Amino acid sequence: MNSYIKTHLNKDFLSSIVVFLVALPLCMGIAIASGVPPVFGLISGIIGGIIVGTFSGSPLQVSGPAAGLAVMVFEAINKFGIEVLAPLGIFVGLFQVTIYVFKLADYFKAITPSLVKGLLGGIGALILISQFYVAVDGKPIGNGLENIMGLPNLFSDLFSRESGNLSAFFVAIATLLSIPLWQKFGGKLSKIIPGPLFAVFVATGLGVGLDLKLRFINIPKNILSELNFISAESFSIIGPSFFATAFAMAMVATAETLLSVKAVDQMTGTTSDYNKEIRAQGLGNFVAGIFGALPITGVIVRSSANVESGAKTRGSAIIHGFWLIVMVFIFGEVLKFVPNSTLAGILIFTGIKLLDVKSIPGLIKKSKSEAVVYFVTMGLIVCVDLLTGVVAGFICSVALIARRSKELNLEKVESGEKEIKFTFKGQASFLQIPKISKALHGLTHRSVTIDLKNLNYLDWAVEEQLNSWKDIQSQRGMNVSIVR
C-alpha cells in the first residue's frame, strides 16, 4: 500500500477526476436513452467503477452503462416493464461468470469485426434517431423503423410550433456543436474538461441564463427509495421470451466488453486477462441486478480517457466510482439544472461516432463478404430489432465462410530461444482466432516471424488480430515480422 501511495496514487487520483467528468453526463444520458431515470445510470456507473474495477482483468479499463446496450434495455423495458432490470442484470452476471468458469472468453475474439461494427453501427443509428425525439423534450414513438418514418412529421411540427419544444431543440444542437468545437479549439483545457462536460456547462448556462422552458433532470431526494431493488415480483416475468432477450444482451455485453479490452491493450501495449475481466463484469452485473440498475460493460470512451490522462492502475477506475457517489448523494441538487435535451445532444454525438460512416468505403474495399455481414447486421437492427440483426449477421458470416474449407495448419520452427517462425497454411478465418491466440500466447523469443504466404484465404478478423498482436509485442521490445 505504501509503495502504491508513493508511486501511483497521484496519477490515478488525477486520472479518476477526468474519468468521472467523462462518465457523469454519459451515465445520465444512457439512462434516459434506456427509458429510465438518470439515477439508474449513475448507480451503474458506481458499481462499474468500484466492483468491476476492483476485480478487473484489464486494470485500465473503465466499466459502466454503455450506449451499446441502451437500445436493448429500452426494448426490454417496453416489453416487460422496468422490473425486468433486476433479473436481467442477474442473468447477464451469471452468464459471464459461467464464461469465466469454463475459460471461454478467448472464443469471443472469434467474432468477426464486421459483425461487431455492424452491431455498433446499428445501435448508433438507433440512438441517433431516437434522441431526436428526446431533443425536443418528447419521447421516441416506437422501434427504429417507426422512429425513422416519424422524423418528417417531428421536424415539420417542430418548426410550425404545433408540437415539440423549439427551445429544447436549440439547446440540443448547441450541445452537439459544442463537443467537437471544444475538442478542436479548447487547447490544454480540453484535456482537463472533457467535451461532453463542457457541452453540459454551455447548455445549462443557456437554459438557466435565457430562462428557457425546458425539461430538466429529476434527481429524487431519497435516491435509494426510487431504485427498483430485486424482489420476488421481479422474477414473475421470467419465461422463454425473457431468456431470449437476456441471452442476446449477455452476448452483446460480453462482446462489447472484450472489444473495449482489445482497444485498451492496443493503447497501452499490455495483455489483459480476458477471462478475469469477464468474471469482474459478471460480478458487477449481478450487483447491478440486485439494485435494479442498468447492465454494465467495459466502455471504450471512459477507458481511453483513463489511459490518456495517465492512469497507472485499477485505482483510477475505483476512485472514479467514489466521485460518482459523492455527486449523486451529496451534490445531487446540482444535476437538476441540466436540461434533458443536453443529454440528448451528447447521445446524438455518441450515435454519430458509433455509426462511423467514414469507415464504410474502406470496409467495402477491404472485403465484399465482410461488407455484406456489416450491412445485413446493421440494416436488420435498425429496421427490425437488435436480436434479429445480430443473429442474422452471425449466420451470414458463418454461411459466407462455410463456402470455403476451414483447415488451418500452423507449422512452428524454433531456432533456440531467440527466434521462432510460424508458417500458416490453408484457410485462416475468424473461427481459428482462438487457435492462433493460443499458439502465440506467452512467447518470450526476441524475434518472431509469421509467414502467411501459403494461405489460400485470410479474413479480416485474423489479419486484424495478428496486426494487433504485433503492435503489442513490438512495444515490449520483440521483433515481429509478418510476411504476406
Q: Where are the domains of the chain?
A: 2-340, 408-483
Question: Taking a C-beta distance cutoff of 8 angstroms, is the pair 266, 471 a contact?
Answer: yes
- Diameter of the chain measured on Cα atoms: 78
What the block records as the C-alpha cell of 91 is 442473468
**230 Rama class: left (phi>0) / alpha (psi -120 to 50) / beta:** beta
Determine how many CB atoms are found less than 10 A away from the CB of residue 474: 13
| End-to-end alpha carbon distance in the chain | 48
Q: With CA atoms as reference, report the closest residue to 76 among 87, 65, 67.
A: 87
The ranges of the chain with pLDDT < 50 are 405
Task: Report the distance separating Cα 159 and Cα 166, nearest Å.
Answer: 7
Give CA–CA dist 132/221, Å, rounded.
Answer: 29
- pLDDT at 431 (0 to 100): 73
Q: What angle do CA 250, 256, 261 make, to 5 degrees?
A: 125
Number of continuous H segments (helices) and E segments (strands) in the chain? 22, 6
Pick from 127, 78, 331: nearest CA to 217: 331
CB 363 within 8 A of CB 114: yes
- In whole angstroms, give the CA distance from residue 201 to residue 178: 10
Residue 99, pLDDT score: 94
pLDDT of residue 69: 87
Q: Taking each helix axis as running N to C, give the angle between helix 274-291 and helix 38-47, from 0 to 180 degrees, rounded to the nearest 10.
A: 140
pLDDT at residue number 404: 54
Provide the grid cell at 173: 444542437
For the domain made up of 408-483, the CATH class stated in words is: alpha beta
291 near 331, Cβ under 8 Å?
no
Q: pTM, whole model, 2 decimals?
A: 0.75
The residues, any chain, with a CB within 8 Å of residue 98's CB and separated by 6 or more, are 282
